[in-house]
A and B are shown apart, each in its own frame.
Chain A
Amino acid sequence: MIRESTIMKIHYATALGSVALVVIHILFRFTQNFHDSLKFENVLINYSLLPYSILLELILILISIHGFNGLRIILLELNQGKNYETLVTYSCLASMIALITYGSRTILMASMGMI
């Protein structure tokens, strides 16, 4: 098991990383009119750019880790106990992996033009 102090460092590192990358992600919406930037063709062009796809993948991983660890912390504040803590930890871990897998599938297929 990882120490809670190490988990908190990961929590803070993923938070700072996410903020920096999400700012770039949002700025991409302002490269043109907000509504136009969401048009099908424009979004596909975004996905076809390799650096942008890597950025999206990193955002997906960082926010998933930060978000589900945050949820784990909230749930552990509400209740404690060996079985409960194990259940919460593994459920959050499984949800995190599932979300990363699902999101990665979209990024990978869209960036490779498999539409």
Chain B
Amino acid sequence: MNKHQNNRAGIRAWLNPWRYGIERFAYWLMRITGIGLLIYFIIHIYETSSILEGKEIWNKMLDLTQTTEGHIILILVIGMATFHTINGIRIMLGHGGIGIGNASRPDYPYIPKSQNMKNKLCIYASVGLAALAMLYGAEVMFGE
């Protein structure tokens, strides 16, 4: 490994959500929720394939998921999906130049125009709506 590569902060720095403010937290949460959703998706594909094995195996698989732990995992998935979707739309709009302000001369204290209140509010809204979606999911799964 060369000198440049040794200088990298690596996965520990990547896993730290607390540097550089709420944008960094959104960056971190976007990736964590993305990985979580991909894992859930793969498990979901495997889980639903049990329908080919017949009713007994399907019911056994369903029993595994229709537990308190299974419901909690599903509620987390609902939260992850909601945050990932709303924050993803914010990022898409930002990449399209929407909501990041006009280009201007960088002056002290060099705060990027893209990190404005609109974007910060969007991140807080994503987290808030994810929490609401999780509450609704919990009501559907535990309320019946």
Contacts and interface: CB of A to CB of B under 8 A. Distances in A.
A78 B11 contact: yes
B141 interface: yes
Counting contact residues on chain A (CB < 8 A from B), the size range is 20 to 34
B62 A38 contact: yes
Interface of B, helix, strand, loop or mixed by DSSP:
helix
A106 B31 contact: no
A8 B35 CA distance: 18
B38 A67 contact: yes
B41 A102 contact: no
A70 B34 contact: yes
Interface of B: 8, 10-11, 14, 31, 34-35, 37-38, 41-42, 45-46, 48-49, 51-52, 54-55, 58-59, 62, 66, 81, 85, 88, 92, 95, 140-141, 144
Interface of A: 8, 12, 15-16, 19, 22, 33-35, 38, 40, 43-44, 47, 60, 63-64, 67-68, 70-71, 74, 77-79, 99, 102-103, 105-106, 109-110, 114-115
